[in-house]
Amino acid sequence: MSYSRAYDLPDSRAKQRPTIRQAILVVGGLLAVMWVLEGIDSVALNALDSYGIEPRKLSDLPNILWSPFLHFGWAHLISNSVPFLVLGVLTYLSGRANFWAVSFIATVASGLTAWFLSPVGSITAGASGVIFGYLTYLLARGFFARSIVQIMIAVIVFVAYGSVLLGVIPGAEGISWQAHLGGAVGGVVAAWWLHGRERRRR
């Protein structure tokens, strides 16, 4: 009986791990929603842009939850599509629950930072804050989990996308460094919460 349990447990865990196909379907599905909404926005003459985040406006706080799905034109959406898909899939492969937790924490942290720090009269929208959350989560989780495999993945991710982190520095006009900074902090917090506590429990 003890041998049966010893062999069955890894198998059951293996079945629970998401596959690349599942990750692409979920993350690709979220990306498809963004493309559909941008199509609607184009037909509606950018009417959806008003559902972005306007700083210090209490009625815009709920917009934090859906502003990552909205973009200011096709060029904005296209620039976010590949990193959202790649980093989102890598995050999803760490576990379904982890993916949704990171997505939520990065969304809220990014949105709140933009709401507090963005200049009056601006509107913030786009998936880049969540992308920064995925990026820093993938970079930080290996440190908190003390996992060699995850650290190796972090190195590869940093080589491929590390330069994106410059987006947290104030500078380029029209770029919400506030949303980028909030998302990046959210990703680190998510890595600490999901993997640091798990390591301490072990």
Kindly report the average pLDDT of the chain as a whole number: 87
**CATH code of the region 18-201:** 1.20.1540.10
Is pTM beyond 0.75? Reply is: yes
Is the pLDDT at 144 greater than 80? The verdict is yes
User: Can you give the pLDDT at residue 80?
Assistant: 94
CA distances from 31 to 49, 99, 139 (A): 17, 15, 22
Using one digit for the tens of pLDDT, what is the confidence trace for 8-49?
A: 444 444 457 899 999 999 999 999 999 999 999 999 999 999
- Is the model more confident about 155 or about 61? 61
Find all residues with CB under 8 Å of 168, minimum gap 6, and list them.
132, 177, 180, 181, 184
The upper half-sphere exposure of residue 97, i.e. CA atoms within 13 Å in the direction of its Cβ, equals 5
CA distance 111 to 115: 6
Residue 86 has a pLDDT of 95
